Amino acid sequence: MTDPVHPDELRVSDPERATTQERLRRAVAAGQLDLHEFDARVQSAWAARTRGELARVTRDLPEPPPPPPAPPPPGRVFSRDAGGTTMRVLTIVWASVVAVNLVVWGLVSVTTGDVVYPWWVWVAGPPGAVLAVLYAAGIGRPRR
């Protein structure tokens, strides 16, 4: 009867060596090894005959951090409601600017006792027309 072989004494295969080499490559990418150490350890990995020898090559290396999450696929960077949110913000900004200009115009008219040229129309008109066209074109409306 033969004694069972200890797992560290089992022979290694080329795929196991390649897996170890990939782990060493990730360790270099994570800054855990420099290129000289990488080279020496890869040579040791490919010269290893048993799993114990192969395990010694990476024994002092912690698991590398997980890779960063994949970026979102192109075309889905923004949510479906992003246009609506943008239009609401633009409308609020436009309305605020118009309100401030209207109040300033009213104060100037009251303090001078004369109706001043309504210059606030130029602040309200063109941007308001652009917002109206965007709304009419359907920009900012939720998709059905």
Compute the distance between CA of residue 88 and CA of residue 131 in angstroms, rounded to an integer.
10
Indicate the pTM of the whole model. 0.45
The per-residue pLDDT string of the chain (144 residues; one tens digit each, 9 = 90 and over) reads: 677 888 888 899 999 999 999 999 989 988 899 999 999 999 999 999 999 999 999 999 987 667 788 877 765 545 556 667 888 889 999 999 999 999 999 999 999 999 889 988 999 999 999 989 888 887 776 665
**SS3 of residue 65 by DSSP:** coil
- Beta strand residue intervals within the chain, DSSP E: none
Q: Between the CA of residue 31 and those of 21, 36, 38, 45, 62, what are the distances in Å?
A: 15, 12, 11, 19, 12
Compute the distance between CA of residue 87 and CA of residue 92 in angstroms, rounded to an integer.
9
Task: Give the pLDDT score at 70.
Answer: 85
What lies within 8 Å, CB to CB, of 56 at 6+ separation is: 44
Task: Give the pLDDT score at 75.
Answer: 59
Residue with tokens 């074109």: 137
Compute the distance between CA of residue 81 and CA of residue 140 in angstroms, rounded to an integer.
8
Task: Give the pLDDT score at 144.
Answer: 57
- The strand pairing partners of 11, in sequence order, are 50
Q: Which residues of 51-73 are buried (b: 16+ CB within 10 A; e: fewer)?
A: beebeebbeeeeeeeeeeeeeee
